[in-house]
Amino acid sequence: MSSSLSKFRCEAVKTLAFGSIVAGYTKIGASYAHPISKIFIVNSTDVALYFSLDAVLDQIVLPAGGFIMLDITIDPTTPDYIPVGDSIYVKRLGVPTSGSVYVSAFYGSNR
C-alpha cells in the first residue's frame, strides 16, 4: 500500500449535558487535536438548540432529537477542514430539561 493513502480516524466523542447548555455559546468538549473533515452532531435534549463553529453566529439549528452530518471536504481537490484548535459551540433556544449533545469528529491520517 502507498504511504500517501489516508486512514479514516475519529477523535473521542465530545459531549455536553443539558444543564450546561446556557443562553450564550458554550464549547462542547476539548478543542480539536486534528484537522477535521467530517462532523456528526446529535441533539438528544428535549428542545431545539443552536450550534456554531465560531461562537458568534447562529449557524445550525437542530430540533430536539435531531442530528446532522457535516462533510467539510466539499471539493476533493482542495484540503478543506476545520483547523486544529477549533471547536463546536452550542446555545439554547428553550431551556432543556434532559439529554445531552454529542459531537463526533473525523479526520484522515497517514499513520
Which cell is 39 given? 462532523
CATH number for the domain including 88? 2.60.120
Q: Does any domain span residue 4?
A: no
Distance CA 95, CA 70 (A): 25
Give the residue among 14, 52, 51, 6 at the shortest CA–CA distance from 33: 14
Q: Does any domain span residue 20?
A: yes
Count of structural domains, the chain: 1
Residue 3 has pLDDT above 90, yes or no: no
Q: Does any domain span residue 39?
A: yes
Residue 53 has pLDDT above 90, yes or no: yes
Residue 72 has pLDDT above 90, yes or no: no
Q: Does any domain span residue 67?
A: yes
pLDDT recorded at residue 78: 65
SS3 category, 91 = strand
Q: Does any domain span residue 1?
A: no
pLDDT band with cut points at 50, 70 and 90 for residue 44: very high
pLDDT digits (tens, 9 = 90+) for 31-40: 999 999 999 9
Q: Does any domain span residue 3?
A: no
Q: What is the dihedral of CA 28, 97, 62, 42, to 10 degrees?
A: 50
Residue 1 has pLDDT above 70, yes or no: no
Helices (H), 1-111: none
Range of the domain at 27: 10-106
